[in-house]
Amino acid sequence: MNMERVLKEKFGFDEFRPGQKEVVESLMSGRHTLAMLPTGSGKSLCYQLPAYLVNKTVIIVSPLLSLMQDQADQLKMSGEKSVLTLNSFLTLNQKRKAFDRLHSYRFIFLSPEMLSIDGVIKSLKSIEIGLFVIDEAHCISQWGYDFRPDYLNLGEVRRELNNPLTLALTATATDEVRRDIVVKLNIGQAEEMVSSVDRENIAIIIERMFSYDEKLARVLELVRKFNGSGIIYFSSKKVAESVAGFLQDNGIDSVNYYHGGMEQEQRMLIQQQFISGQLKIICATSAFGMGVNKSDVRYVIHFHIPSTMEAYLQEIGRAGRDRKQSVAVLLYSEGDEGLPLHLMEQQLPTDSQIDGVCSFLNESQKNLANLTPSEKEQLSLSFSLNEIQLRFFTQFIMGNNQDQVAEMKEYCQKRKTSNQEKLHKFLHWIYAQECRRSGILDYFGEKHREANPICCDICGMDAEKMADVWPEVKVDPANSFSTWKKELAYILLKKENGNEK
């Protein structure tokens, strides 16, 4: 089947975006492929189109339930009915029915945690897998900015599934991270498709602030000045809520907040309102953005600094997906690095937590994997473990845990040192008096490109000048409201029907 014809018939596009065709051609030639394509470049098409060419099941491993649900919903809304999302929200009866007809699905989305269940692997081995996809593949690398221990099992999962053709997708990965992905997945001489991380249509601006109140005032000034939709990123749920309230109190009506601590239905509602244009501004943590299918975000503002260059590029990459001029503004105050340092410390257990958990399990002669939910909750309370730290122990403690204490401590120290170095490099980029875009390219080992007329604050651009180059933004409120109501009704009806099964 002709690729261009499928592109038109199934997706409505006349031509591929940069990098997409090369990835599909590599896969259709039977080569394992690692693709680094910028945020917003249409990475999902790289596995969706081959599914229609090979006519076999595609397995997609995704790190976030919200991300996989959003991708699955978009497929269904485009008319694809053979889509399954395997997650913890399914009832036992729903899971049983899904596994009984597993062979009938074209797309199966699941988390790496689901792949640690023996019954899931056994069921997947019974079907013919055309493509095994790892979305956000940097999560598999211990040197990636968003490392997930559960991803480490994927190399073994591939082996158990008879080493299917594999596609690893990411938007931001250094040479070191890409090498680690290939090794961990055991995909040998994988074909690498590496696009530039440079988003030419996004002006990059950093502004120095000297107080929290100055940041507040500047955010209000910017959202009044900027056209179109925008995302304001925070590292604190509480501050995201507070700033959204501040903007509302100052006459900005179409604004709300979004973070991982909210109920799922509320997050879905806010996401759909933003996509449809009912909300223009979202005050969000990093939980917002992945898979959000909105092409006309004109600006991204960082109220707090991200912890790495990779995370920063992921987040600003949500602007300008329609390739029109957009802007990213980072508001930095001296001392802002304290928050990401604190958050990084919470990602891994301390030496005392490692000693305590291992001693407890050794003395009680219990296996962490076999603890009941109430026992795990008690363990977390006893040693002040958060969910991420508990997952760390679940992944790393095997057999006699006392033998692994030194190994775990060494591993955690290496990870913490690596995280601190990434933050230090990001801060150096903020302070450096050189072209922002050149600094980003240097970080990823890319060659410098032609001068960009609308580049960054170092090259003479500022937020006030954006009004002269801004694309006109038009939204039909009536049409948007109708679309939003239909999409939300579809999602909630599906959820309601699912609970009745």
DSSP line for 489-500: HHHHHHHHHHHH
* CA distance linking residue 370 with residue 126, whole number of Å: 27
Domain ranges of the chain: 3-195, 202-339+454-490
Do 58 and 47 contact (CB within 8 A), yes or no?
yes
Q: What is the DSSP string of 51-120?
A: HHHH-SEEEEE-S-HHHHHHHHHHHHHTT---EEEE-TTS-HHHHHHHHHTGGG-SEEEE-TTGGGSHHH
Same fold, 3-195 and 202-339+454-490: yes
Q: What is the pLDDT at residue 402? A: 62
CA distance 6 to 15: 11
Domain 202-339+454-490 has CATH 3.30.720.110: no
Q: What is the pLDDT of residue 479?
A: 39
Q: What proportions of the chain, in percent to the nearest 5, are helix, strand and coil?
A: 50, 15, 35
Query: What is the per-residue pLDDT for 359?
Result: 86
214-224 pLDDT, tens digit per residue, is 999 999 999 99
CATH T-level assignment (fold) for domain 3-195: Rossmann fold (3.40.50)
Please state, in angstroms and as integers, the Cα–Cα distance from residue 376 to each residue in 112, 214, 237, 360, 379, following that order: 20, 44, 26, 12, 5
Residue 482: its pLDDT value, please? 39
Q: How far is CA 256 from the centre of its chain?
A: 21
Secondary structure element (H or E) that encloses residue 131, with its range: strand 129-134
Q: Give the single-character DSSP code of 307.
A: S
Based on DSSP, count helices (H) and strands (E) in the chain, helices before strands: 19, 13
Per-residue tokens: 293 = 């299918």
Q: What is the mean pLDDT of each run of 10 residues along the chain (501 residues)?
A: 84 88 94 89 88 92 79 83 83 84 92 84 92 92 76 90 95 89 91 91 96 96 92 94 96 91 83 89 84 84 94 91 93 90 85 90 77 85 88 71 80 89 95 95 88 93 85 48 44 45 34
Q: How far is CA 439 from the centre of its chain?
A: 23
Gap between the Cα atoms of 52 and 54, Å rounded = 6
pLDDT reported for residue 291: 58
178-208 pLDDT, tens digit each: 999 999 999 988 999 998 899 999 999 999 9
User: Which amino acid would we find at residue 236?
Assistant: S
End-to-end CA distance of the chain: 38
Per-residue pLDDT at 14: 87
Q: What amino acid is encoded at 278 in this protein? A: Q
Of 239, 242, 415, 199, residue with least CA distance to 336: 239
Torsion of CA 422, 233, 44, 153, to 10 degrees: 50
What pLDDT shows up at residue 152? 84
CB 344 within 8 A of CB 423: yes
| DSSP letter assigned to residue 348 | S
* pLDDT at residue 290, rounded to an integer: 65
Whether 137 and 170 have beta carbons less than 8 Å apart is answered as yes
Residue 476 phi, psi (nearest 5): -90, 100
How many Å apart are CA 42 and CA 371, to the nearest integer?
A: 41
